[in-house]
Amino acid sequence: MSVEIRVASIDPIRQTFARTSRRFGADKPASRYQEASFDLQPRDNFHYRPVWDPQRDIYDRRRTAIEMRDWDDFRDPRQYYYATYVLNRARMQEAAEKSFEFVDKHGLMATLSVEQVRDIETLLLPLRHLEWAANLNNCFVTAYCFGSSMAQGAMYATTDRLGIAQYLSRIGLLLDGNSGQSLTDAKARWLDAPAWQPLRRLAERCLVQKDWFELFVAQNLVLDSLVHPLLYAPFHSGVGDAGGAYLAMLTEFIKDWSGDNQKWVDACLKIAAAESPANRARLSAWAAEWKGLALDALAPLAQCAAHLDGPARLESAARALDQRIAKLGFDAA
Amino acid sequence: MNTQDTRRPTGKKLSLKEKYALMTRGLGWDTSYEPMDKAFDQLGLEGIKIHDWDKWEDPFRLTMDAYWKYQAEKERKLYAVLDAFQQNNGHLNISDARYVNTLKLFFTGITPAEYNAHRLFAMLGRQFPGPGAAIACQMQAVDELRHVQTQIHSISQYNKYFNGLHDHTVMNDRLWYLSVPKSFFEDAISSGPFEQIIAISFALEYLLTNLVFMPFMSGAAYNGDMATVTFGFSSQSDEARHMTLGLECIKFVLEQDPGNAAIIQRYLDKWFWRGYKVLGLVSMMLDYMLPKKVMSWKEAWEIYFVQNGGSLFNDLSRYGLRMPKYWEQSVAEAEHLSHQTWNAFYNFSGAAAFHVWLPSDEDMAWLAEKYPNTFDQHYRPRIEHYRKLQAEGKRYYNPSLPMLCQTCQTPLIFTEMDDPTRTSHRQLEHDGDTYHFCSDGCRDIFAGQPDKYVSAWLPAHQILQGNCVEPGAEAAGDPGADALRYFHVVAGQDNLDYEGSPDEANWLRWKGLDKTPPAAAA
């Protein structure tokens, strides 16, 4: 038995916008994700050449070596548009907020061992600067990529990476009683500690990279695939030690985010690789090159994390990256 | 480092400002493995000198967690209203179907501009080396994406029932009058980063937003458009942040180096005039297109530019800035702007994606009251003449293609302020060619960067050169018909008078005032 409210019905004269019909089929009702995400970037009749790149148009396919017949083909399996994105992240931040409050209220950082504190200080907190670079790299993709669906995904990755840098900062502030000293020390490590210098060098190399798709591969595929298992994962699963569970709570957002973000990254890379053998070759070469660079850059940090199985973690992360690359349809590295 | 010293179980309470600074400001660093001017390589393009990015005062101290939380709350409310609007055929509650034509103008002219703003602020979010400035721009970049999408979702329902909204992105790229806002935004986005932010954050968001964005939202409120006005209210706090960014940015740049003021003044002169010229479209919206009027263009200009803008420039005079060049002329023109603009669209309505109509007696009484110095004298006689022609079945259309201003791309439809019978027309020689302008302001802007403006894509020229033909389609040989198809304007459906349009027929049928058989989309 159902209760029915009768409303006046008026037939619409069309179901959706022409650009949405052209992409998803003529005159089918469209989802809000479909209407909000595709074919929004200007395409024709650019009036002026940009002073910052006078050889190209304001939006230009030639800012990467990757070629696509349809640059709006990058569909996000999470179907994020702004509203669904912020609603999802608001739920995640609510859980994170509870964890931070809980740890703070009960003074649980004091239960960490000296070794755990040292690990946070030497291995985790300097990553806020790597996250800042990841933020800038995804912001670069948002700004200079081609097509509104790619730009949209990269925009959310940009704000996500800032959020992660800020969560890392909050872990530091819990540790140092809001003095900020732990963050100052972490920055000093990032700038001067020998073990961090190869990684900083690589992060800076990303900042001068001009092919946005290469940057996407370097940051979102290669670096993230290796950094997360090596440097974040030990904090996600330290339940065995006293206090370890609290660290798992404080880094849970980062772990959940990584799984969520990978879905989008993999979808983009699969679509680009499936487009043409030339794309596949190019993506494969980038992945191989950046993997080599990243493994070298991370080796000293793996040594610093030897007591957390750093070298073995890095090796297994490298193998997992190879498998991920194979699944994406790239050529074997 | 002695870990014991830094461990304190309960910390001091942080203010929002301190918390934001600790969590954010230290994130960046000066690169040493790569040169800074390679990592941030656009900062030297304009001659602006910044000595210390740490002096940037964060205009809004939002951390990401707070941002997600607040914005999600706003989205929940907004989409609840949009759902209800759709479920209950909210589009039937507007004052009159003529009102939807303002949405057509907004959706084809402003929404694509918001998309450009999204990408422009992403560029700035990457190019500014100070995290404070970069993050403020990144947040605006994602806000602007929000505005594009919430506008799409608000207007989605109207698109299902009214014509002219169906292809807003293609129209923005191609349709002749939309090259006015399109070229404005492309002018900004193709500039160096400081000019980009002065153009959009300061000139547009701070100085002119109450004249671009708010008239449409107020128009929605006055005319029963619940979807659009709810979007407007929902974006108000975003807009307030964006305005604050504009003001902070200009103060920061001016305080960094005394040499910056001359460059900024040049930008303000240019972008004030560029922005003002786009507002011609808003002026006719306020005075002629809203069935229920909010205020006249002249009143809006007086309040939002002359008074508010005037006190702002008063405040900025301590940095050596003065009011933008030709601002007095904009005040004189306020008596004429909307009347001359609407007249042009009445003339060229065959090639527009919205409908036009002649003002009613009641409308004309309102216009006479709001424009006592000009309406009865110059514009009422012309409208009455058009009425007479229409009654005789001789509705006047202008069959020519108008000459466009090389800078702002408005047709040369405006008159001299001291002689309303003479068209305002300026010329300039450059590299052996003659270029045409609507005003001294536009001529000056061209003279400042001639190599930039000679490349402008002028729709009238392009049509005459045979370049406006739908890709892959056979040219019909009739440039007018070819151009309409190229614009994605459906003839007989999207264009011409409201009277006799499918929009009108549908509206009368839905409202039970039926006088014709059902009309469907072509």
Residue of A nearest to B137 (CA): A139
pLDDT of residue B518: 56
> Two tokens at B182?
């399109």
- For residue A94, the chain B residues in CB contact (below 8 A) are 69
The domain limits of chain A are 82-327
Distance of alpha carbon B270 from alpha carbon B281, whole angstroms: 19
Among candidates B27, B24, B28, which has minimal Cα distance to B64? Answer: B24
pLDDT of residue B10: 56
Contact A133, A54 (CB under 8 A): no
Alpha-carbon B463 to chain mean position: 25
Give the CATH superfamily of B64-336: Ribonucleotide Reductase, subunit A (1.10.620.20)
Choice between B327 and A5, residue whose per-residue pLDDT is larger: B327
Distance of alpha carbon B469 from alpha carbon B47, whole angstroms: 42
Distance of alpha carbon A256 from alpha carbon A238, whole angstroms: 16
pLDDT of residue B3: 42
Query: Does A20 contact B at CB distance below 8 Å?
Result: no
Classify strands B433-437 and B426-430 as parallel, antiparallel or unpaired. antiparallel
Residue type for position A257: W
pLDDT of residue B7: 47
pLDDT of residue A148: 98
> Two tokens at B388?
């007479």
> Two tokens at B456?
């402008």
C-alpha distances in Å from residue B22, one per residue of A36, A182, A196, B464: 35, 11, 22, 60
pLDDT of residue A114: 93
Site of tokens 């890095």: A314
Contact B421, B428 (CB under 8 A): no
Longest CA pairwise span in chain A (Å): 72
CB atoms within 10 A of CB A168: 28
Element housing B86 (H / E) = helix B64-87
Among candidates B265, B117, B251, B283, which has minimal Cα distance to B196? Answer: B117
Q: Average of pLDDT values for B218-223?
A: 95
Give the mean pLDDT of chain A. Answer: 95
Using the predicted structure, report yes or no on whether residue A326 has a pLDDT greater than 90.
yes
> How far is the alpha carbon of B306 from chain A, nearest alpha carbon, in Å?
31
Q: Average of pLDDT values for B242-258?
A: 93
0.90 exceeded by the pTM? yes
Residue type for position B30: D
pLDDT of residue B399: 87
Q: What is the pLDDT of residues A148-184, one digit of tens each?
A: 999 999 999 999 999 999 999 999 999 999 999 999 9
Among candidates B502, B125, B325, which has minimal Cα distance to A142? Answer: B125
Give me the interface pTM, i.e. the ipTM: 0.97
Which residues 184-213 in chain A show a CB within 8 A of chain B? 184-185, 187, 190-191, 200-201, 204-205, 207-208
Residue of A nearest to B8 (CA): A177
Site of tokens 């009347």: B339
C-alpha distances in Å from residue A317, one per residue of A217, A224, A227, B345: 16, 10, 8, 64
Distance of alpha carbon A52 from alpha carbon B253, whole angstroms: 20
Q: What is the pLDDT of residues B92-133, one digit of tens each?
A: 999 999 999 999 999 999 999 999 999 999 999 999 998 999
**Protein fold of A82-327:** Ribonucleotide Reductase, subunit A (1.10.620)
pLDDT of residue A312: 98
pLDDT of residue B519: 55
Torsion of CA B230, B239, B166, B216, to 10 degrees: 70
Contact A126, A308 (CB under 8 A): no
pLDDT of residue B194: 97
Choice between B52 and B479, residue whose per-residue pLDDT is larger: B52
pLDDT of residue B522: 46
Q: What is the pLDDT of residues B341-372, one digit of tens each?
A: 999 999 999 999 999 999 999 999 999 999 99
Q: What is the pLDDT of residues B397-434, one digit of tens each?
A: 998 889 999 999 999 999 998 888 899 999 999 999 99
Q: Average of pLDDT values for B10-20?
A: 79
Residue of A nearest to B24 (CA): A166
Bridge partner residues of B411 (DSSP)? B404
> Two tokens at B455?
């490349």
Q: Average of pLDDT values for B141-169?
A: 97
Query: Does B179 contact A at CB distance below 8 Å?
Result: yes
CB contact (8 A) between residue A207 and residue B39: yes
